[in-house]
Chains A and B, each alone.
Chain A
Amino acid sequence: MLAMNYRGPYRVRTEQRPMPEILHPEDAIVRVTRTCICGSDLHLYHGMVPDTRVGSTFGHEFIGIIEEVGPLVTNVKIGDQVLVPFNIACGKCNFCKQGLYGNCHESNSMATAVGGIFGYSHTAGGYNGGQAEYVRVPYANFGPTVIPADMDPDDAVLLTDVVPTGYQAAEMGGIKEGDTVVVFGAGPIGIMAARCAWFFGAARVIIIDHIEYRLEFAKNYAKCEAYNFKSMADPVVFLKKTTDWYGADVCIDCVGCEAEGNALQTFTGKVTLMQAGAATALQWAINSVKKGGIVSVVGVYGPPFNYVPIGNILNKGITLRANQASVKRLLPKLIDHVQTGRLNPKGLITHRVPLEEISDAYHIFSSKLDECIKTVLIPSAKH
């Protein structure tokens, strides 16, 4: 089968590889029909996630058709069209029981700080991902969810990560009616978080980035205000001023460890690797939220640590909430938002590329070329 193959930072290609096999009685094999490139994949692509082994196949956002099931699989059957949450979760451990499906205790032997994730380095369990024609899906009784018959596959594939992550980012903000919400990052996740903030009753939603075409897109898609931090002398002062010198009620970090905009963060985080990437957006979020405000973090940071103003969290009494999205938990609600037309996930897709052209697709998404927001890869349909 054709699959993506990571060869080192900024180098990926496709090649023929052995078919995945059932390794556990609750496994399924899925034939992938659509898969995306995510901002999270860029951390791998840029070589920033420790234990990313050469020869790995990435891809944690995919949908497809059940091709084979292990003897204990009862919840899905061969031929079902399924969307597969990016978290590998058993559904039974004490973390899963509390809805913490991104923190499953039985899916990652290699690190305790994160649950298993498809195609996301050995730090997230060493599983192959879905940027391939076929993929092994563990815990097939729990994760894979049959796609409603009337749902567009392009909407379905975005329900594996982008929509739940954006929604959870807003949810963790504990937004109250009338709140002003600031979202850092106008990538797919930030745009979705800004859109979802309205569901919780926000009265003002502001998105911050430095890429003009993304700000324009975000403004239209999420019906929010959009500002370019490159045109501000100081983003924190700008945000204080625009909130009557009070601070935002809720700040959301949808950027993570590859942030730009602060020379010291960039130098220590991206040039010299003295911290796990640049925590610029998180720093801005902490410093522009109101006293007693809430900072919600879905942007990804690597081990071992980052430089963040923890003293200000203390002195301002900030509540900090963060996690990987718990996809399965949110699916019923989000499928409803999509089916009733309140959410239009596929509106984020700007690029559709055959799997074979993966090297170019990564380059375009990574360098933010060709007005790219979200890329879908399509494995050939000849099987």
Chain B
Amino acid sequence: MKNEKTDYKNIPGWGMDIDPGNEPTYPMKNYTGDDHKRSVYERSNQQHADVEILKSNERPALSAVLGNTVPPSGISGMIRRYAFKHSEDRYRHWIPLILADRVNVVEGIIEDLSRGIIPNIFAESGIRAAIRHNPKGLLKKVIITSVVAGVILYALKKKK
């Protein structure tokens, strides 16, 4: 790629926001000292928690507003409840959450099937776009997957 020298002073807006007072800059820009008041401030009404909310144990109470989507459920929910017994500092918080996410994928497929939906995994992963814009990459993936699967099958057969 060829790079030419830019006459940068002609770029629209060049230098407009130069401000020697920008130091210290964001995030310390608008420091008010209110930090020393800790959690004393005007607070909105508390939203009623109508589903199970897993709360970080690094805070004493729920935030005033809450996201109430996809409450914990099933085996992944049990793992998530365990995770939230531990602080955000601990592996015991994050590793179980990642595990729960993977378990949740299987639960999602079971949930789909129980609603009479057979998940179209190819369509969901955007195979149409892959065919249209990256047929070579797709073909490569298919070949690699089949070769690997073939080798494994062959090895298993030979063992028998």
Contacts and interface: CB of A to CB of B under 8 A. Distances in A.
A177 B70 contact: no
Contacts of B105: 7-9, 54
B3 interface: yes
Interface string B20-45: 00110111011110110111111111
Nearest to A359: B126
Interface residues of B, number: 85
A-B CB proximity, top 4 nearest: A363-B126, A126-B67, A8-B105, A127-B67
B21 to A, nearest CB: 11
B114 interface: no
A94 B37 contact: yes
B14 interface: yes
A127 B112 CA distance: 22
Contact of B66 (A25, A109, A342): A109
Contacts of A362: 126
B135 to A, nearest CB: 11
Nearest to B105: A8
B145 interface: no
A353 B93 CA distance: 38
A370 B41 contact: no
B101 A53 contact: yes
Nearest to B137: A367
A342 B16 contact: yes
Interface size on A, as a range, is 35 or more
A227 B3 contact: yes
Interface of B: 1, 3, 6, 8, 11-18, 22-23, 25-27, 29-32, 34-35, 37-45, 47-48, 50, 53-56, 58-59, 62-70, 76, 80, 83-84, 88-89, 91, 93-94, 97-98, 100-102, 104-105, 107-109, 111-112, 119-121, 123-130, 133-134, 137
A21 to B, nearest CB: 9
Contacts of A139: 44, 65
Interface string A196-212: 00111111110000001
A192 to B, nearest CB: 13
Given A51-B100, A54-B70, A364 B133 contact: yes
B8 A126 contact: no
A201 B15 contact: yes
B25 A98 contact: no
B27 A128 contact: no
A57 B68 CA distance: 12
